[in-house]
Amino acid sequence: MQNQKGVIYILLIIIVAALIGTGAFFVALQKPPVVTAPTDQNPPPVACTQEAKQCPDGSYVSRTGPNCEFAQCPEINPAPTPTPTPTPTPTPAEGQVTLTEGQKDGPLLVQKIYPTYITGLNFYAYPVATTEGQPITLYIGQTASNGCTIQLTLIKIEGKTATFIKKTDNNKPCPICLAENTFIDTPNGQIAVQHLTKGMTMWTVDEFGNKISSTIIKTSKTPVPSTHQMVHVILNDGREVFASPGHPIGDGRTFNDLSVGESLNGSGIITAEKVSYNKNYTYDILPSGATGFYWANGILIGSTLK
């Protein structure tokens, strides 16, 4: 009997628990769902004050962004600093020359010196040698030249003094020599100038005008362009010679200075004209002695060599 009562109690407990669980379930079903408020992904725009700021380049920027800050000004690229022209530096083959007004060096005679430039006369030795200088104006960095060997570049002006770099290019000698097959007087007879060599004997004159034997101490063979011209001189006694316009006569004149009717070596000139030269080289020699003079085709002339 007692066992039956125990079973009944257990069944009652199970039934009560089931009823309580069922009631809780139905209560939960009837509870309204919780709705989460949506997040505003696009907040309303911020109205900035209508102000403007002037930038260094002259443009304007306004306030912008959520904090109403002024926009960034454009970058300014600074103007490039001009590179100063470097002063030429002398090399071992160059040297500095200082001239004042009235002084001459190489092809340049300085006449006037101004704060930023100089004026003067430029004397050319090639393509046509002349004793009359050509007017020239030089600013810093500009150059005067004899047309071949010598260049003077202006590098500085201080007061009434101008400084130049003087450059001598011995690989570019002025072709102011004699034509090929010009015959030179020697104790062994006349020999074509291109066949003479250092150490051979030839005739020259001393400082008193006496004809003496001498030794060749220097020779030259200078290439010339196809446009090179020679001066063709004929004397009224039949002697004639072809020489470059700048070749010295020995009396202060050059072949370029000669004119018909003038005298050369005691004889009148009947022809003095420039003609084309169809050879590739001109030639010259230097005899030992005080004058450097020698006879070319029987005409006494000077040497271009020193």
**Structure confidence by residue, pLDDT tens digits, 69-110:** 777 777 766 555 655 555 544 443 468 999 999 999 989 999
Q: Is residue 157 part of a domain?
A: yes
Predicted local distance difference test score (pLDDT) of residue 167: 92
Cα separation, 167 vs 178, whole angstroms: 26
> Which of 168, 195, 227 marks a domain boundary?
168
Residues 249, 290: one domain? yes
For all residues of the chain together, what is the average pLDDT?
A: 83
**Structural domains counted in the chain:** 2
> Which of 168, 193, 228 marks a domain boundary?
168
Predicted local distance difference test score (pLDDT) of residue 160: 94
Quote the domain boundaries for residue 284.
Answer: 183-301
Residues 187, 297: one domain? yes
Q: Is residue 3 part of a domain?
A: no
Residues 157, 217: one domain? no
Residues 188, 163: one domain? no
Residue 191 is given by DSSP the state E
Q: Return the number of other C-beta atoms located less than 10 Å from residue 190's C-beta.
A: 14
Residues 269, 209: one domain? yes
Max CA-CA distance within the chain?
Answer: 184
> Which of 124, 144, 168 marks a domain boundary?
168
Confirm whether pTM is higher than 0.85: no
Cα separation, 256 vs 239, whole angstroms: 18
Residues 163, 189: one domain? no
Residues 199, 151: one domain? no
Cα separation, 120 vs 173, whole angstroms: 24
Q: pLDDT over 90 for what percent of the chain?
A: 52
pLDDT over 50 (residue 276): yes
Cα separation, 251 vs 56, whole angstroms: 75
CATH code, 189: 2.170.16.10
Q: Is residue 32 part of a domain?
A: no
Mean pLDDT lowest for which of 2-16, 131-145, 168-182?
A: 2-16
Out of 149-153, 220-224, 231-235, the most confident range is 231-235
Report the DSSP beta bridge partners of residue 276: 229
Return phi, psi of residue 243, to 5°: -140, 155
Q: Is residue 17 part of a domain?
A: no
Range 58-92 burial, b when 16+ CB lie within 10 A, else e: eeebebeeeeeebeeeeeeeeeeeeeeeeebeeee
